[in-house]
Amino acid sequence: MSSVLELTRKNGKPRHRGKVKVATITLAHGGGGKAMHDLIDDVFLEAFDNENQSPLEDQARLSLADMTALGDRLAFTTDSYVVQPLDFPGGNIGKLAICGTVNDLAVGGAIPLYLSCSVIIEEGLPVETMRMVARTMAATAAEAGVKVVTGDTKVVERGACDKLFINTAGVGVIRAGVDLGVDKARPGDVILVNGLLGDHGAAILNARGDMKLTTLIESDCASLHGLIDALLTAVPRTRFLRDATRGGLATVLNEIADASQVGIEIYEDRTPLRSEVKGFCEILGLDPLYLFDQHPELAELNERLSRGKEEDPAAAIQSLFRASDPSGVRYIFVGSSPAPPSPEWLSYIKKTGKFQTVYEDNECMILHVLD
């Protein structure tokens, strides 16, 4: 999917678009031939339909004049999304990818404009699942006022990825006079939270396991650029914004404190938490201020641990979390991806006395690292 829409006409007629004629994604759909073009036509071009992608080239071509009319600096960001299950209460991986990248631009004070969409698909993924994700991405992008203008498609063998990985990059324009930064907090500043904490992380964890909770917890995943635009208009002296995703609110506060060299007080009675999320965290022994659904460093460490490449798992986990988590709240999520934990490692951690299992099912284990 070099560029996801082709309006090129041949002999005065629109180019005929192919159709996928099988139910699941095969390796042929990533091989560069007719099967791949049919997938791009039928799934991605059908969803992402705008004039910036014509003709179909290896890059999108954007108007500098249009962008400079909105501000004096460009903002550029990229992020990858690996979440299970792909579909969860309140959204799916496609909505998460669009909202996450739009928000990463918006919290820098940028007006989000253009996105890319690159997918890595595991062989065997149902075509309708990919179609659903693409349509959700298109609808979410339209609601946010951004355009998906380029992308790429890869298909890998079964087991080489977990169903579907998505990378989205985004370009936006920062308005003149806006200068936000994590190092700009000052004593006396007030930190505001725009909504309830922990909903997204709790929704993912609940959808992932066999908790069988009677109360449905939905993800609050949403594009925040409209809210941020209104905030910056009303309070132009705002110093810093952040979309508190992986690591939760507490990790963001630690980053502010470290970069700005300030202390931050948290008033527990003023921290907005849904009663269902508080109850969910109490069941699992989790701190809702640290709820997350992704953590790249943790995923990498989990892979090393699972493959027996760490001689002292507790020390490795403690080292990772203490670097960004002075409060000492440390958890590791052990799942079947990217690799199932070895029986030897599981046996080892139970003997060390350095871990407390706070939740376990046939899909994952949540461990608290003890001091």
Sorted by where each begins, the domain ranges of the chain are 9-174, 199-283, 296-369
Angle value at C-alpha 200, between 336 and 258, nearest 5 degrees: 95
Q: Is the dihedral of CA 299, 302, 308, 311 positive or negative?
A: positive
Identity (one letter) of the amino acid at 227? L
Report the predicted TM-score, pTM, of the whole model to 2 decimal places: 0.70
pLDDT, one tens digit for every residue, the chain (371 residues)? 444 444 444 444 555 677 888 999 999 998 888 888 889 888 988 888 766 555 677 888 899 999 999 999 999 999 999 888 898 888 899 999 999 999 999 999 999 999 999 999 999 999 999 999 999 999 999 999 999 999 999 999 998 998 999 999 999 999 888 999 999 999 999 888 877 777 777 777 767 664 555 567 778 788 888 888 888 888 888 999 988 766 677 788 888 999 999 998 888 777 777 776 676 666 666 666 665 444 445 555 655 655 666 666 656 655 665 554 444 445 565 655 445 566 666 776 677 777 777 656 565 666 766 66
Question: Mean pLDDT across the chain, nearest whole number?
Answer: 78
Identity (one letter) of the amino acid at 334? V
Q: Which CATH superfamily is domain 9-174 in?
A: PurM-like, N-terminal domain (3.30.1330.10)
Strand order in the sheet with 364-369: 331-335, 364-369, 355-360
Q: Using CA atoms, how far apart are residues 199 and 207, in angstroms rounded to an integer?
A: 12
Strand order in the sheet with 110-122: 73-81, 164-174, 110-122, 147-156
185 touches 239 (CB < 8 A): yes
Please enumerate, as own/partner, the contacts of 63-70 that have beta carbons within 8 Å and a separation of 24 or more: 67/113, 67/171, 67/173, 68/173, 70/111, 70/113, 70/173, 70/175
Residue 210 tokens, joined? 């066999």
